[in-house]
Structure 1
């Protein structure tokens, strides 16, 4: 039986105890070699023992040939033989029946022997010094698999490249045509046809849709039984491949192999096989731009956006246009202008206030003011550790005439949502500046910082 088969019989042992039990059964100098490496796990100790044993097969014959004597027997991974017990040696010579059979006692049997005062390992009375008479040696035999189990068959480079070519991988978003605001798309000119290409680092190869392949009028090589693996594990049949298809992107010429697949939403998908040929690439997904060097010149590309929703996803660069329902601030009769002394800010917050004020002035959101009104400015930290610019209008609100609007009951609103499956929400970016203030009330919105008075 192997060491791993006998190890459970030793009971629950910690990892260091298992290593110590294993190394104690090794012959010298194999045990010393393993102990010097201080293995922390049993698997590491076994691996070291096997490595040193294989080394001994080469070292010892070499030393023996230099000394001119016969090689000594090879060191084997075995445990020392048990020492025969004098009290049982005579009976053991009669045959295998004379050997003592050892088995694990159940808890009931151990309690019964403890009550009778008997030894757990024999049927004699237990007393002080009885362990010197009743001895047991547990032998753990360790057998490990042959060296052929660790040999990993390596395929030739040509075979590995062939397997890679016959099993391209494409991402799920690329094959399903899912579009987001951060997908990098570029125009591809293939002959006289202009195609829409997705730059996808999740796809291993380059692909072209069937419809785009027909539009180009090119001839591709058909392959039977070829398929592409999608990221979710599915397999999509591949009709064939264009070998060294010539196309251009913003005037840059390329030649790549393109696999023909039934794509949805994109004409061409350029994967890592093409991206790797560009070398180092500087990618900015916020602006959808990419930069890289090709030959002796720098290439800069800007991705194609979705023109249908450009006005929705564009970042606001100023105040909205004036409308018929601009916000008004009605003061109570006899109200005097509200002027509140600004807070004392930390140096870091003061710099942040000045930075944000300069940015809003450059975008036309705020302007300098000489109004008699002035409210406080606060900086509130966001979840991403950035600062939110807030104006404290609580004192001004005390002097305003409140507008009255009918507010629906929340239970009635929830009843109206019964049976609905899809819900939408609207979140204004920089909501403070998305609602225009009536020109007659702009001076009432003035706020004061440490350096100037400004208003929307």
Structure 2
């Protein structure tokens, strides 16, 4: 917290005003009904009694870089500025929807319909915006009440006679209001704004930015450019004895499909995943469109599968496989995408 000491020009002495009054908002309609507000006013209008009192927080605030005599009261519900100050600084004045009647013990009733909306104040180098009600004041320019103290989270230490302001990071913390507080603020003609926030991602994080991927660059390759290494067991397809070679006619393709087939075959030949052959065995190929609009090259090995001797091995238990996934949160498609062309 930042403390304002007694040596500063903009420091405050202390305030504890015992005077109380009542604020009434008189409706401007013909019925002249009066709405009673639970407001408490301790305004002394800077009379001779106020000048002699030692229980006041007095200091200096700045509006348009002009020093102004200011007083703070914790029993005050609103903040005010003098009509002379408004005229002297040429402040912008707005009209209220009704009139404000202020009953004070010193000067009786004071009626006003003018307010300086969002007037910019500077106190101890800190900038504030506050609605200041315009009323006649003598020997006093600005009067700050509980609305200013509460909204800006200002703390008063009556023992040390200091005023404490929150740190900048504390001032940025949003204040949440419940439904009742919102309704009360609307009844008091509070200005409210609606904001819509959206997050904009600068860029999608790629796989190369993952920590695990960076640790094993030889495993997570950008692309496979050659055949897999030699294995201890060579891959072979065993056929049913007496099987004659199977060769199928090609499927019909459009001109665009033939063009795509040519491009993919050139890529496979360049990577040596396929090679030209004059074998009597043959299988047809077809192109399948995926969800991302890309084209997948598929080979029809149905006839070859019919004459192939199947390998015998026990099937894995699904429940055991599911148990192995307990606690897993991240699933990768890397095995699916790089599972092709892995057999020499």
Short-chain TM bin: 0.3 to 0.5
Larger relative contact order (CA 8 Å, sep ≥ 6): 2
Q: Could you state the TM-score of these two structures normalised by the residue count of structure 2?
A: 0.38
Q: Could you state the TM-score of these two structures normalised by the residue count of structure 1?
A: 0.30
